[in-house]
Chain A
């Protein structure tokens, strides 16, 4: 299935800004993050089609997944 992945801020470094990628059915947000070498600890806001989701959310054909890094500094 085709999923559009949008990466923000530091996640783009060495990766991409937006790409449509092919994943097997049943792929979760965590699977996508793992395939992109993003650790779960550095994941902040995660959205599918502009709705907030968790790591275990299963993706569907045509979804757009947006991943933001976790920011905690002050």
Chain B
């Protein structure tokens, strides 16, 4: 696509390419926004929307994120925030898996929910939201429940899986599927003022060590509920882990879990 490349080079200011030119090029050259994004990044330029990602994320890193495919399992309290942050970060392909539709009890925390969207399928709300905030990102919705039966197929091609489930038994199935696919699993869980986050690498038994055997279903969130800030916080930790894994940077939470207590403002690191 040398014509598009020439167009982008002509309109770049420094190495930044404004949204209006990206959109114009899509029309001129018959490209999707995702295709224009790839040409821009491959050409050493940066869509201007990512200029405040720098220098935390370099231009080359931004291309790595664009080529990343990440699965988010669950699109509720954690999942909505995770999808939002991954899309704004510029992760190129996001697979979202959830069987549910929005209900009234979701409204206190689930980012894509609103009173006007009660009954809307959650992964369809995610699709709409991502198309709105970052059209260069491809969101692949799966309106189904994750299980060990369909897991390998749903996660095919993903470099990282992110746990945003609300059920311990399904989490254990997810952990097994990730092990079989040889991909890391970023895990988060919440209840009330508390949450924890860790990353299971292939070959590690991290979730097994956290939940032990025989645990399934719900934890203390059954009685404590989930306020707005706890999922937002744990989702942020999870997305930071994903970002590091895709970029190959930093020190992930391997064999250690952060135990977060917002009521007492304490964070404890526990070996896993």
Contact = CB atoms under 8 A, between A and B. Distances in A.
Interface of A: 8-10, 12, 42, 44-45, 47, 50, 52, 54, 68-74
A70 B78 CA distance: 17
- Tell me what chain B mostly uses at the interface: helix, strand, loop, or mixed: mixed
A12 B261 CA distance: 11
A72 B192 CA distance: 11
B191 A69 contact: yes
B241 interface: no
Contact of A74 (B211, B220, B224, B231): B231
B74 to A, nearest CB: 5
A71 B191 contact: yes
Interface string B212-235: 100101111100101000010000
Given A10-B220, A52-B209, A73 B191 contact: yes
A7 to B, nearest CB: 11
Contacts of A8: 194, 259, 261, 268
- Tell me what chain A mostly uses at the interface: helix, strand, loop, or mixed: mixed
A72 B209 contact: no
A74 B194 contact: no
B167 A72 contact: yes
B166 interface: yes
Interface of B: 74, 76-79, 163-168, 171, 188-196, 209-212, 215, 217-221, 224, 226, 231, 257, 259, 261, 263-264, 268, 270-271
Given A9-B192, A9-B194, A52-B209, A70 B219 contact: yes
Nearest to B82: A74
Contacts of A12: 264
B77 A74 contact: yes
A73 B217 CA distance: 10
B207 to A, nearest CB: 11
B189 A68 contact: no
B271 to A, nearest CB: 7
A41 B193 CA distance: 19
A44 to B, nearest CB: 7
A12 to B, nearest CB: 8
Contact of B220 (A52, A54, A71): A71
A69 B78 contact: no
A52 B271 CA distance: 9
